Amino acid sequence: MSEHTQHNDKYTAAAKYIAERAGLVPHTAVVLGSGLSEVTDSIKDAVRICYSDIPHFPVSTAPSHEGALYCGLMDNIPVLLLSGRVHCYEGFSMYDAAFYVGVLARLKVSTLLLTNAAGAVNTSFAPGDIMLITDHIKLAAPSPLTGPHNALFGPRFPCMTEVYSTELRKIIRGCANNLGIPLKEGVYMYFAGPQYETPAEIRAAGVLGADAVGMSTVPEAIAACAAGIKTAALSVITNMAAGISGSAPNESEVTDNAGAAAYKLVSLIKEFVSAAG
Ligand code: HPA
């Protein structure tokens, strides 16, 4: 059996399990990053499925990543919330990090909103800001599409000129405006971690055009773009990146500031779900 047939069988098995447990699967999915799992409080009548119960689904060991999927209603609109994700720094491959995207493609999810915690490179940003990701930079790390070509993820050499949908970005700007939430915009640069970046790496990131840095989101965004799932992504700025301010990035600052900004994200996500759904 070829490698991609095995992969496709895994996506299919996971999707079948979710569809059987959840009943109707929504067209919109939202992924909750570090410290943002309390967003699940705002989902009603949800079926909760632990990642560990889903066949082949990788389970996160990262702090403040819950590891459960919720299928329910947000202000009466059906949505799939994925609370927690896996990262390469936990020892997972890029393929594992993007596994759920293959499952979402199988479930015919058409719209995906990714969220994460990020460090600011742009000095006009401050902890607590929300940044709409306009594009990303991933230089050294491998791709989630490495391996035999799998048509589930489009052509062999998929185009990445619009990873973050122009249409969804417009919707998010409108939602933020309606809610009076100031929205920054910028380029997110992927670092594999788990160590925070050095000040020299952050200076380089700035020269290259990055506004924020983080250890997630990009593997999945690449896979989602290739699979034809319309994608948008929001970063909660939890800290100034290494060397940008007097204080060095640390885990408690990241989770505390992500938690403190979660209320803004909850209303933005709700507004987005109803505007996009
Ligand atoms: N660097 C990388 N990842 C992060 C950071 C950071 O400064 N903050 C939150 N996630």
CATH number, domain at 101? 3.40.50.1580
Q: According to the model, what pLDDT value does residue 106 have?
A: 95
Q: Which ligand 1 atom sits nearest the alpha carbon of residue 249? A: 7
Q: According to the model, what pLDDT value does residue 60 have?
A: 83
Count of structural domains within the chain: 1
* Residue whose pair of structure tokens reads 């994608």 in the numeric block: 231
- Residue 122 gets which letter from DSSP? S
**What is the pTM assigned to this prediction?**
0.95
CB 7 within 8 A of CB 150: yes
Q: According to the model, what pLDDT value does residue 227 have?
A: 97
Rounded to 5°, the CA angle 264-267-273 comes to: 135
250 CA to centre of ligand 1 in angstroms: 8
202 within ligand 1 shell (Cβ under 6 A) = no
191 within ligand 1 shell (Cβ under 6 A) = yes
Full domain range(s) for residue 72: 3-276
Q: According to the model, what pLDDT value does residue 74 have?
A: 87
Q: According to the model, what pLDDT value does residue 34 have?
A: 72
Long-range contacts of 120-123, Cβ-Cβ distance < 8 Å, separation of 24 or more: 120/211, 120/212, 120/237, 120/239, 120/240, 120/241, 120/244, 121/189, 121/202, 121/205, 121/206, 121/210, 121/211, 121/212, 121/213, 121/241, 121/244, 122/184, 122/186, 122/206, 122/211, 122/212, 123/240, 123/244
Q: According to the model, what pLDDT value does residue 2 have?
A: 67
125 within ligand 1 shell (Cβ under 6 A) = no
Q: According to the model, what pLDDT value does residue 3 have?
A: 67
* Residue whose pair of structure tokens reads 């309606």 in the numeric block: 178
CB 230 within 8 A of CB 165: yes
- Rounded mean pLDDT for each run of 10 residues along the chain, 277 residues in total: 74 95 89 80 88 94 79 89 93 95 96 95 95 95 93 96 98 96 97 95 97 97 98 95 87 80 87 88
15 CA to centre of ligand 1 in angstroms: 31
